[in-house]
């Protein structure tokens, strides 16, 4: 039997190897899996933004959702629930995506970029860690998104049905669905492979609960390295996978990295924004996708925030590109950090007021 | 006594662990009871309390879980 440490490293390992394989079979370099990029591509494919190079329905996303959905069903963990601060979650999801698209990748792609020699990912990791530290300060002061409650089945099935619909749209390819003819959106592993890899990743992540935000957060907050070992597994096996399958693409350094820029300040701040929002949301984009598959309506709202954020990022010229970060993008990151901190502060203040009131009325302290 | 009961049902990650941490930080020998409704919270709390040397007992009823934590 595997120990729990062995299991979580193996989980990361499978993700790392599959990511390298997806690149080998057609995905853009360092983008075997990137949850932010994939939702951005889907937003483009649905015509929500018109950036011609990043429009494709990524079947990996359907795989993550359906893999988590199926295994949760089998294990009796599929539970339609929701109602925990949906508006706040939407806004946080929106800005999480802005941060990720200024850095050019979700936290998972950040690890994959490092595993291919892109040292800009180190700047990103430092920024992500800083953001997570900021988020933790709010958690320590009582930050909460409140309780979710059991919902109707319709809530729980929303994202699994969405996953099936976009898969059908990909296969049927009606004229209103847009597919990039050049750029990253035109580079994709065959549908069956991408979907299969997505299903496997969705299922194992549902079982092991691995989360990139959780990895860093737990080390800082409770000195628990469990999820961090999973992240190290992703890095180590993506590195091994790249050496075996994509050796010619490995490029160590800061300059000329695939689908990346080397503006250190904004790589750092972009991931700071992603880190704060991911901690306040209780999970990174990958984890939110898995939770949505398990019937969590709050995670589904977060995903709608991510998709909307991606659409705005390209419509308003906020997303970075290998050419660098736009002025609009820089302003949006600053606005995002201010709003995320304001949300944290507002919730902590509300919790404190309620606790004070309860204590004053002579009752014992209870959760809000 | 009510002090030692933590109701973390409906809370999303990592709130159940933080609420448990707050209760264990002031542990004085009385069993701490934590209520949660998701398996992920059960696993995270078991791991957290286990690392601190606590014994965790889990009871399940109607999709809710009761964790009894003691030294």
Predicted confidence (pLDDT) per residue in A83-120, tens digit? 999 999 999 999 999 999 999 999 999 999 999 999 99
* Mean pLDDT, residues A286-295 taken together: 98
Indicate whether B3 pLDDT > 60: no
| Closest residue to B47, CB basis, from A146, A217, A226 | A226
Q: Which residues contact A360 (CB under 8 A, 6 or more apart)?
A: none
Sign of CA dihedral A274, A279, A280, A283: positive
Residues of chain A contacting B21 with CB distance shorter than 8 Å: 222
Confidence class of residue A2 from pLDDT cuts 50, 70 and 90? low
* Mean pLDDT, residues B35-56 taken together: 95
Residue percentage of chain B with pLDDT more than 70? 96
Confidence class of residue B13 from pLDDT cuts 50, 70 and 90? confident
| Closest residue to B14, CB basis, from A84, A147, A282 | A282
Exposure on the CB side of residue A27, measured as CA atoms within 13 A: 28
CATH number, domain with residue B24: 3.30.110.40
**CA A90 – CA A102 distance, rounded (Å):** 19
Report chain A residues touching chain B, CB-CB < 8 A: 4, 77, 79, 81, 84, 139-140, 144-149, 209, 211, 214, 217-218, 221-222, 224, 226, 282-283, 298, 364, 366-367
B51: closest CA of chain A, how far (Å): 8
Q: Which residues contact A119 (CB under 8 A, 6 or more apart)?
A: A252, A253, A254
Residue percentage of chain A with pLDDT more than 70? 98
pLDDT value of position B1:
44
**Residue among A32, A180, A187 at smallest CA distance from A116:** A32
Segment holding A150, helix H or strand E: strand A149-150
pLDDT value of position A363:
53
pLDDT value of position B2:
45
Q: Is residue B66 part of a domain?
A: yes
Residues of chain B contacting A367 with CB distance shorter than 8 Å: 6-8, 11, 19
Q: Is residue B6 part of a domain?
A: no
* Mean pLDDT, residues A4-9 taken together: 94
C-beta of residue A166 within 8 angstroms of C-beta of residue A42: yes
Residues of chain A contacting B23 with CB distance shorter than 8 Å: none
Active site residues of B: 13
pTM of the predicted protein model: 0.95
**CA A131 – CA A269 distance, rounded (Å):** 8
B14: closest CA of chain A, how far (Å): 6
Confidence class of residue A361 from pLDDT cuts 50, 70 and 90? confident
Indicate whether A200 pLDDT > 50: yes
CA distance to A2, A290, A297, A299, B14, per residue, from B65 (Å):
25, 22, 21, 22, 16
Q: Is residue B3 part of a domain?
A: no
pLDDT tens digits, residue range A141-190? 999 999 999 999 999 999 999 999 999 999 999 999 999 999 999 999 99
| Closest residue to A364, CB basis, from B3, B10, B37 | B3
Q: Is residue B30 part of a domain?
A: yes
Confidence class of residue A321 from pLDDT cuts 50, 70 and 90? very high
A69: closest CA of chain B, how far (Å): 15
Strands B5-7 and B32-36: parallel
**Residue ranges per domain, chain A?**
2-360
Q: What is chain A's mean pLDDT, rounded?
A: 96
Nearest CA in chain B to A227: B44
Number of structural domains (chain B) is 1
**CA A294 – CA A300 distance, rounded (Å):** 10
**CA A324 – CA A36 distance, rounded (Å):** 18
Q: Tell me which residue range forms the domain holding B44.
A: 15-70
pLDDT tens digits, residue range B35-44? 999 999 999 9
CA distance to A60, A232, B66, per residue, from A163 (Å):
10, 29, 34
**CA A244 – CA A239 distance, rounded (Å):** 9
Counting Cβ atoms within 10 Å, is residue A253 exposed (0-12), middle (13-18) or buried (19+)? exposed
Inter-chain CB pairs, A–B, below 8 Å = 56
Strands A149-150 and B64-70: unpaired
**CA A289 – CA A127 distance, rounded (Å):** 23
Q: Is residue B65 part of a domain?
A: yes
CB contact under 8 A, A147 and B11: yes
């Amino acid at each position: 039997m595997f120990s729990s440490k062995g299991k979580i490293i193996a989980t990361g390992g499978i993700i790392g190897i599959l990511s390298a394989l997806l690149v080998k079979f057609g995905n853009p370099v360092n983008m075997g899996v990137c949850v932010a990029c994939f939702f951005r591509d889907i937003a483009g494919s649905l015509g929500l933004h018109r950036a011609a190079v990043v429009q494709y329905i990524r079947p990996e996303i359907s795989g993550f959702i359906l893999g988590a959905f199926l295994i949760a069903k089998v294990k009796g963990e599929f539970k339609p629930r929701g109602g925990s601060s949906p508006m706040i979650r939407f806004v946080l999801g929106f800005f999480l995506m802005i941060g990720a698209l200024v850095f050019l990748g979700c936290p998972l792609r950040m690890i994959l970029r490092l595993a291919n020699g892109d040292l800009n990912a180190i700047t990103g990791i430092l920024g992500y860690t800083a953001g997570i530290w900021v988020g933790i300060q709010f958690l320590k002061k009582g930050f909460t998104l409140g309780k979710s409650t059991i919902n109707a089945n319709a809530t729980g099935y929303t994202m699994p049905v969405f996953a099936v619909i976009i898969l059908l749209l990909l296969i049927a390819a009606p004229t209103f669905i847009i597919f990039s003819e050049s750029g990253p959106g035109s580079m994709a592993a065959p549908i069956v492979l991408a979907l299969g890899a997505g299903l496997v990743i969705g299922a194992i992540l549902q079982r092991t609960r691995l989360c990139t935000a959780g990895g860093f957060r737990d080390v800082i907050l409770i000195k628990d390295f469990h999820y961090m070992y999973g992240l190290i597994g992703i890095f180590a096996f993506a590195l091994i996978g790249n050496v075996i399958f994509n050796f010619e693409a490995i490029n160590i350094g800061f300059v000329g990295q695939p689908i990346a820029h080397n503006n250190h300040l904004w790589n750092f701040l972009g991931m700071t924004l992603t880190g704060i929002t991911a901690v306040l949301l209780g999970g990174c984009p990958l984890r939110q996708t898995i939770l949505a598959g398990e019937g969590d309506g709050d995670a589904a709202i977060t995903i709608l925030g991510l998709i909307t954020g991606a659409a705005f990022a390209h419509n308003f010229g906020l997303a970075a590109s290998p050419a660098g970060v736009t002025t609009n993008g820089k302003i949006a990151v600053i606005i995002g950090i201010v709003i995320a901190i304001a949300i944290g502060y507002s919730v902590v203040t509300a919790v404190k007021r309620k606790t004070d009131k309860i204590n004053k009325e002579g009752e014992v302290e209870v959760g809000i | 006594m009510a002090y030692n009961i933590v109701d973390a049902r409906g809370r999303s990650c990592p709130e159940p662990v933080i609420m448990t941490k707050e209760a264990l930080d002031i542990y004085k020998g009385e069993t701490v009871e934590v209520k949660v409704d998701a398996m992920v919270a059960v696993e995270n709390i078991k791991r957290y309390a286990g690392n601190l040397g606590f014994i965790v007992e889990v009871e399940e009823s109607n999709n809710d879980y009761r964790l009894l934590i003691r030294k």
